Amino acid sequence: MVDVTIRGAGIFGLSIAWTCARRGARVRVVDPYGAGSGSSGGLVGALAPHVPENWNDKKAFQFESLLMAEPFWRQVEATGGVSPGYARLGRIQPINDPKSLDLAHQRAASARDLWQGRAEWTVVEARSVGSWCPPSATGFVIHDTLSARMHPRRAGAALVAALAVMGVEVVPEAPDTGAVIHATGVSGLLELSDALGKAVGNGVKGQAALLRFDAGQVPQLFAESIHFVPHADGTLAIGSTSERDYDDPTGTDAALDDVIQRALQAVPVLHGAEVIERWAGVRPRSKSRAPMLGAHPLHKGQFIANGGFKIGFGMAPKVAEVMADLVLDGQDTIPEGFRPEASL
């Protein structure tokens, strides 16, 4: 018998399992396809904040989660002995026109208020950040110290290893026992949409590539709407697309070719780097675009944690905390915009 059954072994399911287990709960994770088999098994791993303006619950939640990430992943690695590839190294974004430069300065001022000195968003000269920098037409870049990187697959493996030490299994089948949390990604959103007869959420396909390029311990880049994430293993991930219409959920095609070409134009130092993997997967996006957390709309007495979309890894530590609060302690600290009703 277990206290908590979690259906889904993506980043939300595994993170919630870890937090519940650390609080003393007996936990089981159930996933017929195994850990990280969906979009959580991707390549990019850019843990980056929303812009510091027009503050709302979603941005505040994400900010807190990104600050929680370092101790969260440090404890996971210390327990299981597997590195998630996490490092809070910041992010650099080129500023290519005067209007964007003015806006960046405004956001820098907002960050000083909203981020409370716990991280910085600054406008600096491109030459001051060194050679690992995209060309910038204005000569200035945004440098934030909140962004972090991780390798999604290694993060999943690190959680599985840490959970095993805590006596938590990831199994293909098991009955519902104790409190039940559905963290089933796209299939869970489609189940909701079909049952309710309206779009509650959907899958958005993303394509990414992994290059053999060792950039070292440097910030991630964001240029031409592409994330460039240098991983600890000497590879560099670039991506990704956002495709609402697709025929093959896991196939790569010309859309990824275009990302690779634009990446080489944005960061010329990458010319000649070997593409060692092409990847595609479908990410769960709720109608509200925020994670869907709380009481499950279909399964009475059970819970849902879904809709991580592009920010699931960044949101995971805080999502795990509020779901453990709810399920184990009956303490509901979920923001209104994150409740299932926001997408219904």
For residue 280, give every residue at least 6 positions away whose Cβ sits within 8 Å of its Cβ, in sequence order, or none. Answer: 205, 206, 207, 208, 248, 249, 250, 251, 252, 256
CA–CA separation, 45 vs 65, rounded Å?
15
pLDDT string in tens for the chain (344-residue length):
899 999 999 999 999 999 999 999 999 999 999 999 999 999 999 999 999 999 999 999 999 999 999 999 999 999 999 999 999 999 999 999 999 999 999 999 999 999 999 999 999 999 999 999 999 999 999 999 999 999 999 999 999 999 999 999 999 999 999 999 999 999 999 999 999 999 999 999 999 999 999 999 999 999 999 999 999 999 999 999 999 999 999 999 999 999 999 999 999 999 999 999 999 999 999 999 999 999 999 999 999 999 999 999 999 999 999 999 999 999 999 999 999 999 99
| Res 47: pLDDT | 97
CA–CA separation, 308 vs 20, rounded Å?
19
Per the confidence metrics, is the pTM higher than 0.95? yes
Give first-to-last CA distance, the chain, whole Å. 34
Burial of 151 (0-12, 13-18, 19+ CB in 10 A): buried
List beta partners, residue 29: 6, 170
Q: Using alpha carbons, select from 62, 44, 15 the residue that is nearest to residue 289.
A: 62
CA–CA separation, 193 vs 197, rounded Å?
6
| Res 108: pLDDT | 97
| Res 266: pLDDT | 96
| Res 1: pLDDT | 87
In this structure, are residues 140 and 125 in contact, taking their beta carbons and an 8 Å threshold? yes
- The alpha carbon dihedral of 71, 76, 82, 85 has a sign of negative
